[in-house]
């Protein structure tokens, strides 16, 4: 495996379900990110983990709970979601110690909340 | 605060024609600038990045972008469009020392017709 891998690729869940999205990076990076991509809206940064510490939480509702157990893995735990949470959730990684380091994205999880 | 504006949510060109996708940024300090491409059902892939070493930046797939400080622009061009260039393109800006946080434009969908 190379790059950034996200699972599952597609997820359908009811509003009362609990599910988790998984992201794994094989690039040796030390920062990981969750972005939300909704139709007709710019990409929204949700969470940033740098050196395994959460350094940013962009006013994301508590029904989204991130977890970063080590520098290679990132999870997004989902609970009691709303239909408006349906979107493409993108994970990314970068080398935070390099100023011009770009983000490397996974292929995303397409989430549908019914 | 930084922001990115992509002029034109949709651009349509003929195969073999010039591609020009516009991006203007606002930043209080010299930024790092990026262009990403997103194909259907995939994540974002880095096309190129500007890091102050040269104002004309060459990327993958024959794309290039020119940084113009006086115009606060970073437009993306390709001399001759190919059918495989049809995708959505995102311009992004990053302030130095802001770990990996990117601010994205709203995206431009490029259509290439025969």
How far is B86 from B2, CA to CA, in rounded Å?
28
Task: Write the residue in A43, A90, A96 that is nearest to B100 by C-beta.
Answer: A96
Residue in chain B nearest A50 by alpha carbon: B99
Average pLDDT over residues B10-30: 91
Contacts of A112 in chain B (CB under 8 A): none
Asked if pLDDT for residue B102 goes beyond 90, the answer is no
- The DSSP bridge partners found for residue B23 are B6
Cα B40 from Cα B108, distance rounded (Å): 13
Answer whether residue B37 shows pLDDT above 80: yes
Phi, psi (rounded to 5 degrees) for A80: 55, 55
Identity of the residue in B41, B44, B97 whose CB atom sits nearest the CB atom of A99: B97
Answer whether the bond into residue A8 is a cis peptide, omega within 30°: yes
Q: Using 50, 70 and 90 to split pLDDT, how confident is the model at B96?
A: low
Nearest CA distance, B67 vs chain A (angstrom): 15
Q: How far apart are CA B19 and CA B13, in angstroms?
A: 7
φ and ψ at B67, to 5 degrees?
Answer: -85, 125
Substitution target from B27, B67, B100 for chain A, most A beta carbons within 10 A: B100
Predicted pLDDT of residue A54: 77
The answer, for B40 touching chain A at a CB cutoff of 8 Å, is: no
Count other C-beta atoms under 10 Å from residue B41's C-beta.
11
How would residue B97 be classed by pLDDT, with cut points 50, 70 and 90? low
For residues A103 and B100, what is the distance between their CA atoms, to the nearest angstrom? 7
With vertex at residue B81, the alpha carbon angle to CA B78 and CA B84, rounded to the nearest 5 degrees, is 115
How many angstroms separate the CA atoms of A100 and B69, rounded? 18
Whether A78 contacts A15, CB under 8 Å: no
How crowded is the C-beta side of A55, counted as CA atoms within 13 Å? 16
CB contact (8 A) between residue A42 and residue B44: no
Q: Pull the structure tokens for residue B29.
A: 């300090």
Q: Return the HEC string of chain A.
A: CCCEEEECCEEEECCCCEEEEEEEECCCCCEEEEEEECCCCCCEEEEEEECCEEEEECCCCCCEEEEEEECCEEEEEEECCCHHHCEEEEEEEECCCCCCCCCEECCCEEEEEC
Cβ–Cβ gap B100/A31 under 8 Å: yes
Residues of chain B positioned with their CB less than 8 A from the CB of A101:
100
Q: In tens digits, what is the pLDDT along chain A, a chain of 114 residues?
A: 579 999 999 999 998 889 999 999 999 999 999 999 998 788 999 999 987 777 777 789 999 999 999 999 999 999 999 999 999 999 999 988 776 788 999 999 999 999
- The predicted pLDDT at position B16 comes to 97
Whether B41 has its CB under 8 Å from any CB of chain A: the answer is yes
pLDDT of residue B41: 84
């Amino acid at each position: 495996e190379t790059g950034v891998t996200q699972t599952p690729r597609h997820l359908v869940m009811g509003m009362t379900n609990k599910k988790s999205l998984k992201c794994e990076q094989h690039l040796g990076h030390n920062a990981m990110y969750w972005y939300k991509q909704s139709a007709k809206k710019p990409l929204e940064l949700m969470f940033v983990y740098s050196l395994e510490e959460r350094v940013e939480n962009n006013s994301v509702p508590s029904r989204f709970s991130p977890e970063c157990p080590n520098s290679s893995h990132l999870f997004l735990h989902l609970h009691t979601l709303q239909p408006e949470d349906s979107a493409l959730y993108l994970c990314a990684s970068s080398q935070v110690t390099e100023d011009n380091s770009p983000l490397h994205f996974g292929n995303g999880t397409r989430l549908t909340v019914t | 605060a930084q922001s990115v504006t992509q002029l034109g949510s949709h651009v349509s060109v003929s195969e073999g024609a010039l591609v020009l996708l516009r991006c203007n940024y606002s930043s209080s300090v010299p930024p790092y600038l990026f262009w990403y491409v997103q194909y259907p059902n995939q994540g974002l892939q880095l096309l190129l990045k500007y890091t102050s070493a040269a104002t004309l930046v060459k990327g993958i797939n024959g794309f290039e972008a020119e940084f113009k400080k006086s115009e606060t622009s970073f437009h993306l061009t390709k001399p001759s469009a190919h059918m495989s260039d049809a995708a959505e393109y995102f311009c992004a800006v990053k302030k130095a020392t802001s770990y990996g946080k990117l601010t994205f434009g709203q995206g431009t969908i490029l259509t290439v017709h025969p």
